[in-house]
Structure 1
Amino acid sequence: MNLETATDRIEANLKNLETAIGEAVFDEWAIIEKTSEGWKLVEYRGDRHEEFVADFGRDMAALKETLDPSNIQIGDFAFSHEGYGSGFDAHICAGKNKLVIFNNTRKSTDEITANPKWTSAQVHFNNLLEAFIADPLT
């Protein structure tokens, strides 16, 4: 899958998730790539681009143990219950050394998942996982 297709799929599935749950689940997301120099920002959607880049190291702390591409496979994902504010809430391994990071800067994962519609709405997150498994981001 190329970057444009991946971006379209992410946006469509997040919109479906928002519709199903009745509110935005994630208000920012990014595609990042692990390189020999460290993490590289490939794509960002949200309202805090400069802050996202500046605070990336701190904000990834809640997911740090699950962000090692050598230990995860395409389609693997993780949620953090420690990602408050700008701290990242979730990620998906979308391709070799490529991850999609999701965040809700206003709510914690606990608050998001407390919504009674969360369980049935998760199908849209799963659809995104399956899309990357079938056609990884290159």
Structure 2
Amino acid sequence: MTLEQAIPIIQKACQKMNRDFGGTLFDEWAIVRTARGKLFLEHYEGPRRDEFIQQFHVETAELKSASMAYHRGHYHVGDYEFTPDGAGSKADAFLKMGMDAFLVFGNTRLSMKEITQNPRWLKAQAEFANLSERVISDPLALSGSPQGPEL
């Protein structure tokens, strides 16, 4: 899929997760691209774009640590990771969308530990898994040079 196709698919999945969760599950998400050994923001939705860009490496540190601990950073399209330590504006989860693209999720009010204590999380988690399955069958393919700012 293209970036233009991925955005409404992600928006719809987030709406379903919110409905199933009974409130806002992830109030920000971003598509991040790797190119030339650097990270670039391809798309962001949420309340704090500038802060997300400036603080990206700090706010994804726990998630990166979790990914290195469990999979040594090697993920296939459709793989995902959560961190219970993503409190506040820290990133809570990511989903590998394509060969060089990740979808990063955050809840700026709740940590994953708090989210998973809500019994409705299990139902919302099913939609997250559906999104994973969707990208396995049709990965995000980004062409050309990165369009967004370097992170």
TM bracket, shorter-chain basis: over 0.9
Amino acid at match of 1:49: R
Q: Contact 1:33/1:99 (CA < 8 Å) preserved in 2?
A: yes
2:117 corresponds in structure 1 to: 114
2:57 equivalent to 1:57: yes
Q: Contact 1:69/1:97 (CA < 8 Å) preserved in 2?
A: no
1:124 corresponds in structure 2 to: 127
Q: Point out 4+ residue stretches in structure 1 off by more than 6 angstroms.
A: 67-70
Percent of matched pairs sharing the same residue: 38
Q: Contact 1:34/1:69 (CA < 8 Å) preserved in 2?
A: no
SS across alignment from 2:42: strand
**Distance of aligned partners of 1:125 and 1:44 in 2 relative to their CA distance in 1, 3 Å threshold:** same
2:60 equivalent to 1:26: no
SS across alignment from 1:130: helix
Amino acid at match of 1:13: A
Partners of 2:90 and 2:18 lie apart in 1 by 20
**Distance of aligned partners of 1:129 and 1:69 in 2 relative to their CA distance in 1, 3 Å threshold:** farther
Partners of 2:106 and 2:124 lie apart in 1 by 17
Instruction: Work out which of the residue numbers 88, 100, 110 in structure 1 matches 2:91.
Output: 88
Return 5+ residue gaps in structure 2 as ranges.
142-151
TM normalised by structure 1 equals 0.95
1:85-112 deviations in Å (ceiling 9; x for gaps): 1110000000011000000000010111
How far is the alpha carbon of 1:18 from its aligned partner?
Answer: 0.5
1:26-52 deviations in Å (ceiling 9; x for gaps): 000000011124110000000101000
TM normalised by structure 2 equals 0.87
Partners of 2:95 and 2:72 lie apart in 1 by 11
RMSD, aligned CA = 1.6
